[in-house]
Structure 1
Amino acid sequence: MRTSNNLIGLVNFLTFLLSIPILGGGIWLSSRANSTDCMRFLQWPLIVIGISIMVVSLAGIAGACYRNKFLMWIYLFVMFFVIAALIAFIIFAYAVTDKGSGRFVMNRRYLDYYLGDYSGWLKDRVTDDGNWGQIASCVRDSGVCKKIRRHLNGVPETPQMFYFRKLTPIESGCCKPPTDCGYTYMNETVWVPGGEIVGSNPDCMLWNNDQRLLCYQCSSCKAGVLGSLKKSWRKVSVINIVVLIILVIFYVIAYAAYRNVKRIDNDEPAGEARMTKSHPSHYQY
């Protein structure tokens, strides 16, 4: 029985350690000022799951140390639903980030982003007027477009140097006009029309060299936020899948050890009864 309790305690301690990367993933999402810090509702499922695993693991450790079968049972019962919630979150994260990606542009290293390439729940949340006002304000206040400027030995970047930079989705979508608008590069965040604006992209008329405006109201900026969210969620989902596999293995081990503890406890009274019969406490003469 002591071996089984020690095993359950060890497994609970390991699941406690595994809760740290899940919780860290939620905090990492919330700390990304370029994207998800502007959409605080997205990181909460991960943070809640991470805290739940941490608390339940502590209960399991206490149950194993004090041989409290009720706490062990609570651990197994709640952990089952936590694993189910983690599976649901992983499926949800992949489902809402399934569609959409940047488009390759000729003679450019960076990608252009178009809102029409995205669809579904995440797009609806980002493009909602109430949400987008806060997101755009957050992206602007983060200074992401100010940070895009680069000088080499005090010399401003040339157009060709900029064209072959690898920009983040938000830098590409919010800090410059779409390439198909035909604007002429002056510097990273200042562009002037190159004659007649090409194409029917509505974003071409929304671009503004005012550093407070730029393309924050463009569809390309919304698409850039979606592209950034997709990358962040996919990275976190990979970690979650690895953690999920390990959690399931540990859960099976803990369940088997708990079954063994119950079996030993059930056998002990019968064994004590047999010993009492074979070794009576008094004799009749």
Structure 2
Amino acid sequence: MPMSNNVIGAINFFGVLLSIPIIGAGIWLTNEPDNACVKILQWPVIILGIVILVVALAGFIGAFWRIPWLLIFYLIAMLILIILLASLVVFIYMVTMRGSGHIAPSRAYLEYHLDDYSGWLRRRVQSSYKWDQIRNCLSSTTMCSELNQSYHMAEDFFNTHLTPLQSGCCKPPTKCGYTFVNPTYWISPIDMSADMDCLQWSNDQTQLCYACDSCKAGLLANLKKEWRRVNVILVITLIALICVYLMGCCAFRNAKTEDLFRRYKQGYT
């Protein structure tokens, strides 16, 4: 059984290592401006990663120090965590299925519509109370002011590929027909009735289109892109974690079989 315990311990050590990409994915989200303002996914991911780390450490300790009850705790708790991680993966996939950018005439950048995204995501930004907090957070970033430093001519700006947040929050919708002065200053709209966002646009550099539905849609588009990246990491980690768990179960079963066989031999002799 000592050799089997060493094998179980080594397998559980890989489980410890697999918690690192999960925690890292959550930390990466906290460093992204949009996720830092919304704060939906990063903490569940980080907490789940930390719990997996703790449980895997418990299995590692239980194996090397031969503590059967700790190994049983590991097997039960890790199974629950794998189910939770799988549920999170499916959830992220479901809420990010919908939504994509729309081509604007004579523009390289895309524009975004709020109705394109899942109802669950829309509810995260449609409440005026929630959006006021998110808007204040977004307006404190430099994502829009940076455009003024990079683009001085309308043609250069129209041919650039903006992020969804920049497209939705830093300029008015193209269909409103505003005239370009600089990336965050536009005048003389052609059709103020084209969209409610046409009325929401302000040349006040603290306001811009942060009150627009296009800004909310741009935020959700950014969230979708980043959450999809995180989900790839979670899927790969989930598959690896399932493999490690199954190997751990087999090693634990073999260890119990060896222990029973050893006791049988001792009793027989």
* TM-score range for the pair, normalised by the shorter chain length: over 0.9
Q: CA deviation at 1:31?
A: 1.3
Distance 1:212 1:11 in 2: 54
State the partner residue of 2:236: 242
State the partner residue of 1:13: 13
Match of 2:155 among 125, 150, 160: 160
State the partner residue of 2:166: 171
Kept in 1: contact 2:192–2:199 (CA 8 A): no
State the partner residue of 1:63: 62
State the partner residue of 1:73: 72
State the partner residue of 1:104: 103
Query: Which 4+ runs in 1 deviate beyond 3 A?
Result: none
Q: CA deviation at 1:198?
A: 5.8
What is the identity percentage for the equivalent residue pairs of Structure 1 and Structure 2?
A: 44
Distance 2:198 2:268 in 1: 90
TM-score normalised by length of structure 2 = 0.96
Q: CA deviation at 1:199?
A: 5.0
Which deviations, in whole Å up to 9, do the C-alpha atoms of 1:174-208 show, x marking residues without a partner?
000001110111111001124x3265211001100
Please state if 1:184 is matched with 2:179.
yes
Kept in 2: contact 1:112–1:172 (CA 8 A): yes
Q: How many residues align?
A: 269
Please tell me whether Structure 1 or Structure 2 has the larger radius of gyration of its CA atoms.
1
State the partner residue of 1:282: none
Q: CA deviation at 1:66?
A: 0.5
Kept in 1: contact 2:176–2:198 (CA 8 A): yes
User: Unaligned stretches of 5+ in structure 1?
Assistant: 276-285
Kept in 1: contact 2:59–2:74 (CA 8 A): yes
Distance 1:164 1:4 in 2: 63
Distance 2:169 2:253 in 1: 57
Letter in 1 for 2:43: W
Which deviations, in whole Å up to 9, do the C-alpha atoms of 1:80-99 show, x marking residues without a partner?
01110011001100111111
Q: CA deviation at 1:264?
A: 1.7
Distance 1:79 1:142 in 2: 40
Distance 1:41 1:106 in 2: 34
Trace 1:82-93 onto structure 2 (pairs within 5 A).
82-93=81-92
State the partner residue of 2:248: 254
Distance 1:7 1:148 in 2: 56
Kept in 1: contact 2:113–2:217 (CA 8 A): yes
Q: CA RMSD, aligned part only?
A: 1.3
TM-score normalised by length of structure 1 = 0.91
Distance 1:119 1:74 in 2: 38
Instruction: Write 1 or 2 for the structure with the bigger share of helix.
Output: 2
Distance 2:222 2:59 in 1: 38
Match of 1:267 among 241, 251, 261: 261
Distance 2:138 2:252 in 1: 50
Kept in 2: contact 1:45–1:89 (CA 8 A): no
Distance 1:266 1:130 in 2: 63
State the partner residue of 1:212: 206
User: Unaligned stretches of 5+ in structure 2?
Assistant: none
Kept in 2: contact 1:174–1:216 (CA 8 A): yes
Q: CA deviation at 1:2?
A: 2.5
